[in-house]
Amino acid sequence: MKTKKTGFLILVAFFVIHVVFSQGRVISGKVSDEQGMAIPGVTITVKGSTKGVLTDFDGNYSVTVNTGETLVFSFLGMETIEKTVGTSNVINITMIESAQTLEEVVVTAMGIERAEKTLGYGVSTVKSDDFTVARETDVIQALQGKISGVEITGQGGGLGASSKITIRGMTRIGGSNNPLWVIDGVPISDANDYTTSRITGAIDYGNRAQDINPDDIETLTVLKGASAAALYGSRASNGVIMVTTKKGKGKSTISYSTTMRFDSPLKLPDFQNIYGPGNQGSYDEGVGDNLQDASSGWGPVISEGGTYTDYAGNLQTFTSNPDLQKDFYALGATKVHSLSISGVSNKGLNDYRISTSYSSQEGIIPGSSLEKLNLSFKSGAQLFNNLSSNFSMNYVNTGIEGAVAQGTNDPNVLTGIINRLPRTTDISVFTPWINESGDAQLAAVDFDGTNNPYWIINENQRTSDTERFFGNVSLNYEPVKNISMLGRVGYDTYNTTHFSNKHKGTIGLLDGSYTENHISRKELTLDFLTTYDNTFGDFDLTLRSGVQWNERDWSTIGNKGIGLTIPELFDPGNVESNVPWKNYSKRRILGVFGDFTLTYKKWLTLNATARNDWSSTLPKGGNSYFYPSIALSFIFTDAFEIDSNILSYGKIRGNWANVGSDTGAYQLDFLYSPQSSFYGQFNTTGTFPFDGQLAFSGPNTLPNVNLKPENQANYEIGLELGFFKNRLTLDGTFYKNVTTDQIISLLVPASTGYSRAMTNLGQISNTGLELELGALIIRHKGFRWNLDYNFSTNETIIDELGEGIDTYTLASAFNGLLVGASEGESIGLYGNRFARALDEQGNPIEDMILVNSNGLRYEGDNARLGNVFPDFTMGLTSSFRYKGWTLSTTFNWKEGGVLYSNTVSTLRTSGLAAETAIDRETLFVDPNTFVSNGDGTYSENTTPIPSVQEYWTNYSANRIHESSVFDATYIKWRELGLSYNFNKKQLQKLPFSSLRIGVQGRNLAIFNTSVPHIDPETNLFGSGSNGAGIEYNGVPSTRSIGFNIQVKF
Amino acid sequence: MKNIISKIKYILLISIMIMEVSCDEQLVDINKDPLAATSVPPELLFPEVLANLSSVRTIEFAGANMHAQQWCGSGGTWLSRSRYVLGVPSVNNGWTTWYTTCLKNLSLVELLVESENPNNKYVIAQAKILEGFIYSNITQVWGDVPFTEAGNPVEYPYPQFDSQEIVLEGIVTLMDEALSILEQDLDSEIVTDSDLVFNGDREAWIRWANSIKLKMLMFIANKKPEEVASKIQALVDEPLILTNEQEAKFSYTTAIGNENPKWRFIQNYWGGNINLWYAGRPLVNLMNELNDPRLPNYFETNSNGFYVGKWQGATGFAVISKINANNVLPDTPDRYSTASETYFLLADAAANGYVSGGLEQANTWFVQGIQAALDYYDGTWGEISQTDKDNYIDSFPDLSTLTPEEALDYINDQHYISLFGNGIEAWNQWKRTKSVELDVPLNAGATDVIRRYTYSTNEAGSNINTPQGLTIETPMWYEK
């Protein structure tokens, strides 16, 4: 914030500077920082008087004083310096950065700025440098490990895939838990668009917060509680991420930065390289075995040198290819260029900033790429003394090619193919992948939908193209002193086109197909806000009232064309059949709100807010809901005038808030919809009209005309302490949220005729603790060592579900694996376990796993497999600075939670995982297992397994989830960056006013993980779902190393 | 100060005025979905029901052909099906489609008729027959299933699972209710164009209802012959599906998007060829023994010119016969109830003494059953010559010269053979009669032949009344 404040102060300077002439000597000088850079806007006051001046753009000042008077140099973020005027007429000052800046102003709801000191709730702020030093293309990923109370889960190495961010745990088991993104006071969409179901070859095209250009961010503030955001309406109850973009200030500056980065897989599965394809140790084409039907890794010992016909049809001798997967993945590369021009004009009355950024990325999946262009223009103008205006416009174009399909059942799912190739496969067998006439595939993997991987990469497109615009225009009018009126129009819209095709010759859709889907979202927010601000003696009073109108439109229209006539012509006229679709929804909220803030002597602040919403989505007569909040901040060090070198700052804060919420559009009426297709497994979906007949269907979700708004109560108490002149700071928060009457689309038994039913249900509570610790450990002769640590723990408990509901399903995956909630438990993973012996009450005995008469484990009941969310997360950032050098690094620890990995299950059942090659010929007795005697008693199992193949195919079968569930704990080395800022002297001969170069690494290593074969940070469901803890053919996450140059002119 | 306060008042007033204007309910009264209707003519729901019903029967549960061991999967998904890996998504899809898409829309048909055109009772009868037929599929796959409390979310949010006995008897009752409507001459409309089974032919619906009833009673008779014998006897004189023309089927067409999903599948994956579908050992052995003229219709010969089937779950298909691709054509229908099935069930009933006429009558129906099954190919790619038909029929002894057990063996073997390609029916015919000896699959960890599917995990996860502890090897209630 310091720079923003600077701009403002400079403005003020023009008015003030002329008033301060008086008698005495003229003292002049220059104020610079430790690097010798001039600091404009430093306030210089004469102690004991009201006299004051500011430094100019070059850090120079001159002031008229009398000898013996004391000059006070102060600047936000710098330690205040006092100098007594002696004989010299020149006083040059070097200011040093203060340890912590508790005087900061933060942007709160509605873009209102408030001093952090006066806030009754917890916020965390990340500054521009954190986004640009180790430049991430995705804003969310750059937050990893830096903020308490915020959980971020990426999705591996798929370019442009979404990152899920959750603040203070899940509060809703039905609705969205994603925080509200607000840019310069206006909400924008963070929707996650993906194709079809998550399980069946879903392609994740990212979440729209990724459109934000990290170079445009001045600060990013996370408002964690609901109280912080009561003024934004319901969506803010999940927390708000407020982005304030940079604005023009000071003299015209051109800034350019470029980043180059290289990505490679962080962790690849650990394969065996001993056994080739086949069954039960044998592979004999003489009896009809063939590579297409054989299991991948259950064949003979490779070194015995058997022969086989490879995918291209050539006779080969078994040879192991341990680097098969490594050979497949490419080296990813990211290039980012950013340019901005900013400054003020018209004697500081106008400010402007124009910026553009272009990134191009090539992923580790060959042929995958992402291109993004950002353009933005932000400007403000003081039109008259009492009227000012601001506007900002942002345009973003994001193009993704070769996005990755995850899950199963779709020919385009790639990692499933790559991981399952027999160890004898030479990846070059797949080139060429297409015949000369371009209409048939060569070297297909099998007839069950497994295509040549290069065919998928090169012939089957999966692209998305998104054009987005967001911006706002506001007018600020001050009709009289102390009263200001703000009118603002905010608009956010994007149009995205997803296109995918299956080239003619793709196994699974040999006739070829293409799918095109256009999604359009629009959000219009109108605000009218009146503020009254005044000071009465020791009291500062702020009153606000406002009206907000929010309208959201969403529509999609698309077509799937099946059976291409001319292979590369993707047009509805060129296909045998078309399945078109169309969806639309529109919702409106009208909110009226008020805000009352009273501060006494700057150390006691009371803030109360109230809002009433009318929502279009709730039943008429029941669509209005009211929600209040109250917050208190008490700085006891100021109140009790504690002025100690040890305890320099102390504040207690607390708040209570209540938030109501609505639901989606059209959930109330019982509706019949026309059908354009009927589902068929294995891509056999058929179309209506059938034999000329149209089809309609009733709803699959039972609507409910009696829905009530849901309700969330939030309690929060926090303590902020600063020691040793704030060189050591501590910020601790305890909170509890209770959400009741959730509007849920409840999974109901299909035997009722409906898959889901809309209802108000249950109670869920979140209790958590957050700790942020900052320490300036060393500050000595320009050397600084800062350590920032954060810790968060959150426990989500389902206090109450409806009667008869055993487990509420938040997201279901496959084979009975689901993310669910049971009364009295946290959100967990549920799935099939091994069959176990039963005690007299009929309950399973945990350590008595049963085997069948073949000595093999089999599936038992579906039960809880563990918590989906971690027990706690921690982040640690350490940074050293010396002169122009900065070395900083971030670690992130996530403890607890479980992860189901289908990749592990597949690698084991197919005999490819390293562990399946151990003692392959030994027919052991599965230890500590039991057999049922059929009469309620059990005896120890003595039957050896029939074969190691059958042992693993049963043990890790995807119908038994227990064996593929692991503790998801990990520690990641998120960032390492080294940069150097050239100083003034070094820059003298260069045309730059500043130059910084840096090298950086991201996701460098992973430690302390018990998940084999894959990176545990993964999520099949993406950011649009409440699901977590499940991996299915995920793309390996990446490690990246790069460098960055930033210059200013 | 006063001045300021009056100005604040003024501003607040403006705010309140804006608020007042805005809070007009009109502004938020936009919750009408522009792409859906609150009521539709009920017949429009029939195509949705039928297309989805058959999609599950033909492709989703194509694995039932492996469970009946008429087909055998050589690789991928199909080898998995042979090894009893059911593909739980498939189980969920089948369960959910039949209960929600099919049964729910049928109950909405009844609701719409009652609220808009209560005179159109024939439409209700059509819906009831389809409902009964869908339940017959559901119980043949899962055994005990929600029936009496199904389809009523308000009263029964967690439907009880009824015993298979109750479900089978309930289907009989549904048929009786439908028949009592259809047998009257009423001033009622009947669904015609949207009726993709019989195009509104009332007599045809009556025949189908009786045939479904017969089949259900024969399941029950396995357990409670005395209770249902008279009902079966009564059916003998009722209109039944007795000719191939009368058969109840869902006719796929060669029009794009309306083809048989199995054909669409082999087209998508195997370029229209049969790749991973081979002959199952029990069926091939039985037909080889009988020198059955349908062998070339069902299968291809292997490279040595023989018909050879494979043990389920085994690998190595070099000398095994493939399924004849002519069984999987774009317009291959989904056969709901066939004439040969009626005859074989009647013959079974006679041989068991449920109906009068003894083994002599059984023999008549037995021969008529074979005749209908062989005639089915008349005028198609697989037409069987009259000589072959005669020779085949003549090769069987007169059943009246045999013991009832021997006669039943012949009848049920023929019934089993006739259900080729109709997986669910063939599998349940085996479960009901066990006339053929099936193999326990290899590499499956199985100890017996599969009898049922596990319950949909979606149902189990949301319905506390879902029975626990059943395995895929737990026999059906109706099994002897």
Mean pLDDT of B175-183: 98
Q: With DSSP H G I counted as helix, E B as strand and the rest as coil, what are the percentages for chain A, rounded to 5?
A: 10, 50, 40
For position A771, what pLDDT does the model report? 94
Q: What is the pTM of this model?
A: 0.84
How does pLDDT run across A421-442, given as a tens digit for each residue? 999 999 999 999 999 888 788 9
The token pair at B360 is 């002599």
Q: How far apart are CA A279 and CA A308, in angstroms?
A: 14
Residues 270-289 of B with CB under 8 A from A: 270-271, 275-276
Task: Please list every residue in chain A whose beta carbon sits closer than 8 Å to the beta carbon of residue B99.
Answer: 750-753
Task: Please list every residue in chain A whose beta carbon sits closer than 8 Å to the beta carbon of residue B5.
Answer: none
Both ends of chain B: CA-CA distance in Å?
97
Average pLDDT score over chain B: 93
For position A10, what pLDDT does the model report? 42
Answer whether A246's CB lies under 8 Å from A216's CB.
yes
- Tell me: pLDDT of B5 over 60: no
In DSSP notation, B121-133 reads HHHHHHHHHHHHH
DSSP character at residue A312: T
Bond before B153 cis per omega within 30 degrees = no
Q: How far apart are CA A1027 and CA B361, in angstroms?
A: 62
Task: Specify the residue for token string 């963070």.
Answer: A190
Q: How far apart are CA A342 and CA A248, in angstroms?
A: 5
Give, to the nearest 10 degrees, the angle between helix A902-909 and helix A948-955: 160
The token pair at A736 is 């509890």
In DSSP notation, A553-564 reads EEEEEEEEEEEE
State the best of B31, B260, B262, B459 to mutate against chain A, taking most chain A CBs within 10 Å: B31
Backbone phi, psi, residue A1015, to 5°: -75, 125
> Low-confidence residues of chain A, pLDDT below 50?
1-22, 102
The token pair at A520 is 């359009």
- Tell me: pLDDT of B3 over 80: no
Chain B residue with the nearest C-alpha to that of A487: B15
Task: Please list every residue in chain A whose beta carbon sits closer than 8 Å to the beta carbon of residue B440.
Answer: none
Backbone phi, psi, residue B263, to 5°: -65, -45
Task: Please list every residue in chain B whose beta carbon sits closer than 8 Å to the beta carbon of residue A673.
Answer: 35-37
Per-residue pLDDT band at B8 (split at 50, 70, 90): low
User: Cβ contact (<8 Å) for A684 and B19?
Assistant: no
For position A938, what pLDDT does the model report? 94
User: Cβ contact (<8 Å) for B38 and A670?
Assistant: yes
| Bridge partner list, A764 | A739, A798
User: Cβ contact (<8 Å) for A752 and B27?
Assistant: no
Distances (CA, A) of A582 to A145, A557, A559, A562, B35: 41, 4, 9, 18, 8
A to B CB pairs, distance under 8 Å: 347
How does pLDDT run across A1008-1031, given as a tens digit for each residue? 999 999 999 887 777 777 778 888
**Chain A interface includes B470 (CB < 8 A):** no
For position B14, what pLDDT does the model report? 59
**Chain A interface includes B393 (CB < 8 A):** no
Chain A residue with the nearest C-alpha to that of B191: A693
Task: Please list every residue in chain A whose beta carbon sits closer than 8 Å to the beta carbon of residue B462.
Answer: 746-749, 805, 807, 809
Contacts (Cβ under 8 Å, ≥6 apart) of A802: A746, A759, A761, A762
Answer whether A329's CB lies under 8 Å from A453's CB.
no
Q: How far apart are CA B276 and CA B266, in angstroms?
A: 10
Per-residue burial over A386-413, b = 16 or more CB atoms within 10 Å of its CB, e = otherwise: eebbbbbebbbebbbbbbbbbbbbbbbb
- Tell me: pLDDT of B12 over 60: no
E-assigned strand segments in B208-247: none
User: Cβ contact (<8 Å) for B445 and A852?
Assistant: yes
Q: Is the dihedral of CA A985, A989, A992, A996 positive or negative?
A: negative
Identity of residue A583: N
DSSP character at residue A250: S
Task: Please list every residue in chain A whose beta carbon sits closer than 8 Å to the beta carbon of residue B38.
Answer: 669-672
Of B227, B478, B216, the closest CA to residue B354 belongs to B227
Q: How far apart are CA A846 and CA A801, in angstroms?
A: 26
Q: How far apart are CA A461 and CA A448, in angstroms?
A: 21
Least trusted range by pLDDT, from A430-444, A862-876, B3-17, B350-364: B3-17
Mean pLDDT of B243-265: 96
User: Cβ contact (<8 Å) for A288 and B320?
Assistant: yes
Mean pLDDT of B39-43: 95
Domain segments of chain A as ranges: 2-94, 671-702, 828-867+900-964
- Tell me: pLDDT of B317 over 60: yes
Answer whether A676's CB lies under 8 Å from A581's CB.
yes
Answer whether A849's CB lies under 8 Å from A929's CB.
yes
Chain A residue with the nearest C-alpha to that of B443: A950
Q: How far apart are CA B152 and CA A399, in angstroms?
A: 48
Q: Nearest C-alpha of chain A: how many angstroms from B94?
A: 10
Answer whether A269's CB lies under 8 Å from A1013's CB.
yes
Identity of residue A231: L
Q: Nearest C-alpha of chain B: how many angstroms from A406?
A: 16
For position A66, what pLDDT does the model report? 83
Q: Which CATH superfamily is domain A2-94 in?
A: Carboxypeptidase-like, regulatory domain (2.60.40.1120)
For position A5, what pLDDT does the model report? 44
**Chain A interface includes B243 (CB < 8 A):** no
